[in-house]
Amino acid sequence: MDVEKRIRELRLLLEEHAHRYYVLDDPLISDGEYDRFFNELLRLEEEHPELVTPDSPSQRPGGVPLDKFEQVVHRLPMLSLENAFSADDLRAFEDRLLRFLNQDMTSASLSYMAEPKVDGLAVELIYEQGSLLQGSTRGDGSKGEDITAQLKTISSIPLRLKDPSLPRIEVRGEVFMDRQALTELNQERLLTGEPLFANPRNAAAGSLRQLDPAITAKRSLRFLAYGIADSSQTPCSSQEELLSWLGALGLPVSELAHPCASISDAIDRFAQLAALRHSLAYEIDGMVVKVNAFHLQQRLGNKARAPRWAIACKFPATQTTTRLVAVEFQVGRTGAVTPVALLAPVEVGGVTVSRATLHNRDEFERKDLRIGDTVLVQRAGDVIPEVVKAIVEKRDGREQPIIMPTHCPVCSHALLKAEGEAVTRCVNPHCPAQRLRSLIHFCSKAGLDIEGLGKKSMEQLFNLKLVEDIPDIFALRHEQLAGLEGWGDKSADNVLAAIEAAKQPPLGKFLTALGIRFVGEVTASLLEQTFPTLEHLMVTSMETLLEIEGIGEQAASSIFDYFNDSSVREMFVRLQEAGVAAKAGQQLQGNQPLSGLVFLFTGTLTTLSRTEAKKLIKDNGGQIATTVTQKMTHLVAGEKAGSKLKKAKELGKIILTENEFLQMIHHGSLTETE
C-alpha cells in the first residue's frame, strides 16, 4: 500500500465529511463510518510521524466556523477527545496516563469522573460578574461562531449566575435536542418539504445556526455544562467538585455523572450507561472518562487536538449507511399494508440489520426514497430499524422509484387509502395475511398470552390449516400437535394446558385480544367497566357507545360494526361451544378507592411492572390514560420521567411517586404531591 497516498485520500475524505457534519449539518456518512476513517488516519500517522502535517484533520478538533456569523477567538482552545471503543481501550488509556506521569505511580493513584457523552453541539458561555456576556460554538477549536442571541433563547442556560461576584468564567457544555423534539421537528419538515435532520446533534447545530433567534427559540433545545476553560478560575480541586460548583451557580449538569475510584469502576459504569441509553429522553453516544484531580490534569496536559487526561468511550453506532436493495409490502391484522425496506446487511448498534420499516406511502414519497439508494439507517434499543433519509449525492441514475401496489400482495383484493389517512389497507376481511396476524395477536402477550403459541408456532399451524380462525385454537387435539415437526408429547400437553387456562379470560383482556380496530387496552378497559358481560356489549347500540366518555365516533363505529358482523357472531357461537367464556367485567362503583380518577404512568417503575400497576388501577375502580390530557387526574412518575411529567405539572395535575401511588392503593386515600 502507498501509505502517503492513502493518508492524502483519508485527509481529503475526512475534510469533506467534517465540513458537511460540522458546518452544513448534513452528513453523508454515519458517525461510525467517520470514526473508522479517522482511526485509520491516526494509525497511519502514528506509524509514519514524518508524514504528519499541521493541517491534518488529526491536528484540529472540528470544522471551520461559518462566515455568516461573527467570529469568536477562544481564549483557551476547545479541544476534541480521543476515542475508545472497549474495556481494553480504557485500560490502555490508563496505561498511557501512568507512563506519562511517572513510573512510581500506580493505578491506585488515579480516580476518574465518568460522564455521559451527550450527542449535541459543544459551546462556550462567557460570564462576567455573573451575567452571560457571550456564547459561541467550538468551531475549529481556536475560534467559533458568535451565537449569543441564539443561546439566550435556551431556557436551561441562565442569563445570570447565582454568584454575581465572579469576575469572569468560561463555561463549556453541550447544546442538544430531546428525541421527542427531534421527531416533532422532522415531522414538521416533512410537511413543508424541507430536508430531515439525520440525528439530534445535527438538529441542535442547525437550530443554533439560524440567523433569526426566534427560529432557534422554537426548537426545544437544552444545555448541560460539563467543564470550564481554566480550572484555576474556580475554587475546585477536581472534576467532581467542579460539576457540583457549576450546579450551585445555576448551570444544569448531568445527573448521570459518576465518580469512579478505578478504571474498572469506569468500565462497569460504561456498561450501566449502555443499558440506560435508550431509556433516556435524549441521545448519548458514549461516555467521557476524565482524570478527576485537577493537579493531575495539569501535569498530563494536552496533545495537538485532545487532552491526555480524558477519553470518549463510544457505544456501537446506532446509525450507518447501506443500500436499499428492494421493497416488500406486508399486510397487518387490520389490513394495513406496510412497505418494508430490504437492505444490504449492515451492523447497527451491535445488531446486523437487513430490514427496516418505511411506514407508509406518504413517508417514502416525502423522503424521496428509491430502490438502489444509499440510505442512512438508524436503530435505537429494541425499536424496529428505520430509514432516515436517502444520500442523494450518491445516486448514479440507476435508482428506481418505489411503487405502492394497487392490489393486496397476499389476496389480490383491491387496496384502499381512505381520505385523511396515511395508511393503505386491504379491506378483504378474509385475507389470509390479516387472519394470520390476528391469530398471532390473539395468542401474544398483548392478547391472551397463550404460552407455546408464539409467532412461529402459529404460522406453522396456520400453514397446515390446523388453525384458520380463533375457535380452531380451542379445538386443537393432542394427536394433531404431538406429531408436528418441532413438537412432541410434552410440548403438545403444555400448549393444550395453556389453551385450557385461557378459556375464561377477563372481559377487557378478551376484547383486547380480539384485535378490533381502534380498541386497545384503554378502550377495552372502558368497555369492561361499562358492560357487565360480553352479551350486553354485543347487543348495545351505537348511541350507547358514543355516550361512554373516552370512546370517540371512530372507535364506536368500529365496535358496533364488529359485533354486528354475521361471521363474528358465528365465531362467538363456536367459542361458546368450546367452553370459552369471558369473565364479567368489573363495573365501577362510587365507593371504590380510585373511582372517577384517571392515571397515566411515565418513566421506569422499580417495584411494579406497567401491567401490574394498570391492573391495580382497574381493580380499584380507576381508569388509565395514554397521554396527558385535562381529563387525566394523576401522573405516576417513575425514574427518568420525561416530557409527560413537565406537561402534567403545567396542567396542575397531581404528581405521585411510585411509593405514593402504592400507599394510595393500600390505604384507599390520596396523597397529594405537587
Grid cell in block for residue 257 = 455523572
Distance CA 171, CA 12 (A): 33
Distance CA 423, CA 403 (A): 15
Distance CA 451, CA 453 (A): 6
Helices 432-443, 455-463: inter-axial angle, 10-degree rounding: 140
Residue holding cell 470544522?
Answer: 63
- The percent helix, strand, coil of the chain (3-state, each to 5) is 40, 20, 40
115 beta partners: 288
Distance CA 594, CA 619 (A): 9
Residue pair 440/463 in contact (Cβ under 8 Å)? The answer is no
Distance CA 97, CA 112 (A): 12
Helix, strand or coil, per DSSP, at residue 142:
coil
Helix, strand or coil, per DSSP, at residue 382:
coil
* Environment class of 663 (CB within 10 Å of its CB; exposed 0-12, middle 13-18, buried 19+): middle
Distance CA 597, CA 546 (A): 20
Spot the catalytic one: 117, 290, 389, 653. 117
Distance CA 597, CA 614 (A): 13
Residue pair 581/587 in contact (Cβ under 8 Å)? The answer is no
Backbone angles phi, psi at 261, to 5 degrees: -75, -20
Backbone angles phi, psi at 95, to 5 degrees: -60, -40
Backbone angles phi, psi at 135, to 5 degrees: -135, 140
Q: Is 417 a catalytic residue?
A: no
Pairing assessment for the beta strands 634-637 and 598-602 based on DSSP bridges: parallel
Provide the annotated active-site residues.
Answer: 117
